[in-house]
Amino acid sequence: MEGMADDSAAEMPEETGERGEGARFMDLPQLEARARGVIGVCAMDSKARSRPMANILERLQATGRYTVVFFGEKTILDEGIEKWPVCDFLIAFFSKGFPLEKALQYWRERRPFSVNSLVRQFLLLDRRVVLEMLRHIGVPTPAHVVASRDGGPWVHPALQQAIERRMGLRLGAANAADVEELDADTLRVGTEVIHKPFVEKPCDSEDHNIYIYYSRAQGGGVRRLFRKTGNKSSEFVPGPAHVRRDGSFIYEEFVDVDNAEDVKVYTVGQRYAHAEVRKSPVVDGHVRRDSAGKEIRFVRALTDAERGYARAVCKAFGQRVCGFDILRAAGRSLVMDVNGWSFVKGSEAYYDDAARILDTRFQKVLHHRWVARFVDPDAVGRAAECRWALKAVLAVCRHADRTPKQKSKCVLRSPSVVALLGDASTEVVLRNPSDLHRALDALLEARLNPHIADPLPTIDHLADVLGRKIAMPGTKVQLKSLKVDDSSAKTQSTSDNSPNAVLLILKWGGECTHAGLAQSLDLGEIMRKDLLLINSSLLEDVRIFASSERRVLSTVGAYASAFLNQPAEVLMPRVSVRPDMLDDSCVAAKDEMEVAKQQLRDFFNFHGPISANPFCSPGLQLPAEMGECPRSFLHDMCNIICRLIARMEQNFAELSCVDTLQPEWCCGETPDLFRERWKKILRDFRIVESDNVVYDPAKVGELYDSLKYDALHNRPFLERIFMPIHELQRDLQEHRVIPDHVPPEYPPDPLFSQQDVRDLYYRAKQLFDFVTRREYGIEPPQRKKIGVLASVPLLRQLIADLNAVRSEDGARTRFYFTKESHIHALLNLIFLCHMPTMVPYEHVGELDYLTHIIFEVYERKPDVDADLEREYSVRVGFSPGANCFHILDTNIDSTHALKVLPRRNFTYHMSLDKAISMLQSLLDDKCASKVSAEKEDTS
C-alpha cells in the first residue's frame, strides 16, 4: 500500500474548493503556523461519531495542525446553510436521512476542500448509474440486464452535464420495462434473456433486499439477502419463486465465487486500497462475528488489476474515501457495487494510514490558504463555531459484566438467628468476614437447639452454603425483621423492637469480572474520544454518582480512569456514592413488582391456551414462536434442563477426567461450583409441590445469566459437560484440538455444537425478553407506577442537572452508575412521559451490561448582533450495552469480553423546557409523594 498522491483529478473542478498559488505574495511563516486547519464533519451522528471516524480524527487532531468541528444533526437538519460552521476541509457523505442537496449548496457557498465530491455522491444512489459508470471506465462487472419501470434513473442535472462533457457518457437512459418469465428457469427483459441462477437487485442503492433465484437443476428456491440482522444476513426460501414486479430491478448472472468469499475494498485516495475477505452471505446467511461484534474478515492482497480498478473507481466517482465489492471467480475479478464513504473497522494500521494520507493532502491545501488568515486570522475561529454546541451530557449507565448472582432465602424464627438483628429495627446487612462468621455460628447454634423452631434441612442447607461461600467476594447475609402470626400463618414486616422472626437472604456472586473491567475501560476510552472531538470542555466539569453495590463501584473505577485518564485510586474518593438514588431502596416499588411477578407466575402456570387464560391481559400476548400455551413452553424448556442436568451428573459420576474438560478457569469458578450452580437453577425454576409442578418464570434471569456467563467464560466446559457420556468419551479419545497457530479459514457452523444447550439458550432468551421487562410493569399504568416509585431521587437529580445547564455557564458531564432495575424503570418512564421516541416500546430488547441512556443538551448560540436568549435542545441516546443475540456463535478472545454496541438516537430533538416539563410531570404523580413519605419514615 502506497501513500496517496495528488489525486485532484478525482474531483469535479467546481468542487475541489482549492485556490491557486498566485495569492502567495509574501513569506510570513509565523502567520502560516497560526493557520490551524478546520476539519468539518458533516454527516449523520451515527456515522460522524462512530468508532472508526473517532480513531482517524483523533490521529489528525493529535498532530496539532487541526481543529475538528462536528456540524451535528440538529444543525444539518434544522439550520439554514448560512448558519453552518465554516471549515477548510469538509468530510460530508450520504447516509439515511442526510440532506445531500443541502450539503452541496453549503459547499457551493463556502467552497471548503471536500474529501469526497458531494455532487458525485448522487451517482451512487442508483445501481443502474453505477453500472453504467463502471462499464464506461473499463471496470468489469457481472453480465446483467435492467428492467426500468420508473422511466430510468434520475441524475442530478449539473452532474449529468459535467459527466457528458468530461467523460462523453450520457447518463439516465431508460431501459426496457417489459419482463416475462418464459419458463421456470428463463427470464426475458425486453429483447434480452437471462437464465437462472441469477441475482435480482433493486435499482435503489439504499434497498438491500437482494434475491438469488436458483434453477430447477439446483433444486429451485430463492435466497433472500438483507442488511445484517444480528448474526443473519440471508435466508433461503424453498419452492418455486417468481421475480418481483413492484419496482425497477437489475438481473445479474450469479457468480460462483472462489472459496465462497466476497472481497471488500476500502480506498483512501487513488493510491491506497485495503482489502478484506468475508464469507459470502450466499453460503448460509450466518454472519461470523468476533467479541467486538465485528464480522470476521481476513486481510487479503489485491492483484495489480484490482488495484487499477480501485484507482479508476476512486477517480471516476470522485470519492477519495470509499468502498466497493469484488467477486473473484475462475481467474476473473468483477466489481459488483460501489458503496461510497466506508471505513475499515478495528484496524489500527488502517487508521494510521488513513490519517497520514489525509494529513498529507490537507497540508498541501492548507499551504495555499494561509493568506486568508493573514487578512483576518480571528474571523476563522469565530466562523468555525457550530451554532448548536453540545453543552451537557447526562448518562445513566448499568454496571459491566458480572458473575451470576445467586441467593437463598427463608423465614427463620430461631432465637440465635433473630438476635443477629441486634438493635436494628428493620434490616441489617452482614458483609464483613467476621460478621458472616457470626451468622454461620448462629445457624450452627440453631441446629443444635433441641427446641429448634425451624426445619432442620433448611438450617443445614443455609449453613452449608454459607460455610462454602463465606470467603467468596460479594457474599452477604441480609436480615429483615418480621413478626410471624402463628394463628394466621402470615408474616409481615415490623418497625418496632420486638421481632420474633427474620427473613434471611443469603446472596453470593454478582461480582464484576475481568471482562467487565475490560468493557468499562473500553467504553470510557470511547466516550473520552467522542467528547474530546465534540467539545473538549465537557471533560472539565465531570461528576460521577454511583450505587453502593461492589460491581457498580468496580465498573466506575475502571470507566472513570479511562474517561478522565487518571488512576482509579485518585478518582474514586471523588465519586458520590448515592444508595438512596441508585440502589433498590424503595419498598413500595418492590411490592408493586411482586404483584407483576405473581401475575406472570399465574399466567405461565395456567393449564390451557392463552384464549382461556384468566390471567392474560393485553400486555401478556406471547410472541408467535412461544406458542399458544405458556405452561407448555416452560414445560418443554424444563425438560431440556432436566436432560442436561442428568447428563452432567452422569459425566461427573463416571468420568475421572472432568477437570480436564477446561484447562483454565476464571472468576473463582471450578467444575464443582459450575455443577452446583446448574443444579440450583433447576431447583429454583421447577418447584414440586406434592403431585403438582409449579414453574417460576421469574427465575429465567438466573438461567439466562448462567448461559451467557458460561458461553463467555466457560465455553469448553459448557459445550462438553452436557454431552451424552458416550459422545463425550469419544470426543475425549479423538482429542479434537485445533492448533493455535493455524486458525480456521472460517469457524465451523455451528460454532457451538451441543444442540440441547443451543435450544435451551434460545428458549431462555425468548422467555427472558418476555418476562424481564414485564417484571417492571405489565400494563402502562403499572409500568409508570413502578418506574416513578423506583426513580424519584434519580428523576430529581436529572431535572436539577438539566436546569443547571441553562442557569450556569460552562459545559458539564454527569454519570449515574446503577443496576439493571433503574435502567428498566427510567426507560419505561421515557416512553410513558411521551417523549418523542424513535423506537417503539416493543422493539427495545435486552438491556445488557453497560447499557446506557444519555441525555445530550445542545445550546444554540445567537448571532453576534442579535439580542436573543440562547436556545436549548435535548436528545436522548441509547445503547443496549454489551449485547450479542447469537453469543454461542461469537468468537471470544482471552478477555471474554463483548464490546458495547454504539449509541443510537432514541428520541428526536425537543426543547429543554419540554424535556424538563415531561420529567417533572412524573414527579407530580401521587406515587412520587408516596416515595417521599417513605423516605421521611425511614429517616
Burial grade of 611 (CB within 10 A; 0-12, 13-18, 19 or more)? exposed
Q: Contact at 8 Å (CB) between 620 and 604?
A: no
Q: Contact at 8 Å (CB) between 7 and 269?
A: yes
pLDDT of residue 587: 81
- The dihedral formed by the CA atoms of 550, 554, 555 and 558, expressed in degrees to the nearest 10: 170
Residues in a beta bridge with 482: 493, 501
Q: Contact at 8 Å (CB) between 180 and 188?
A: yes
pLDDT of residue 663: 87
Distance, CA of 713 to CA of 756 (rounded, Å): 19
Q: At what angle do helices 587-605 and 630-654 cross, to 10 degrees?
A: 90
Residues in a beta bridge with 114: 90
Question: pLDDT digit string (tens) for 325-383?
Answer: 999 998 899 998 899 899 998 899 999 999 999 999 999 888 766 544 444 444 444 44
HEC profile for 701-755?
A: HHHHHHHHHHHHHCHHHHHHHCCCHHHHHHHHHHCCCCCCCCCCCCCCCCCCCCH
Question: pLDDT digit string (tens) for 517-536?
Answer: 999 999 999 999 999 999 99
pLDDT of residue 751: 59
Helix (H, G, I), strand (E, B) or coil at 662: coil
Residues 6+ apart with CB under 8 A from 923: 788, 792, 795, 796, 799
pLDDT of residue 386: 59
What element of type H or E holds 522? helix 514-535
Question: What is the 3-state composition of the chain as percent helix, strand, coil, each rounded to the nearest 5?
Answer: 45, 20, 35
- For the CA atoms of the chain, what is the radius of gyration? 32
From residue 813, alpha-carbon distances to 30, 395, 573 in Å are 37, 8, 18
pLDDT of residue 455: 85
Neighbouring C-beta atoms of residue 105, cutoff 10 Å: 15
Distance, CA of 8 to CA of 18 (rounded, Å): 10
From residue 926, alpha-carbon distances to 127, 378, 782, 932 in Å are 58, 55, 13, 10
pLDDT of residue 499: 77
Q: Contact at 8 Å (CB) between 705 and 405?
A: yes
pLDDT of residue 608: 92
Distance, CA of 12 to CA of 113 (rounded, Å): 11
Residue 144, amino acid: H
Weakly modelled stretches of the chain, pLDDT under 50: 1-28, 30-33, 371-383, 488-489, 494-495, 737-750, 939
Distance, CA of 53 to CA of 481 (rounded, Å): 56
Task: Give alpha helix (H) positions in 449-503.
Answer: 456-469
Distance, CA of 62 to CA of 529 (rounded, Å): 12
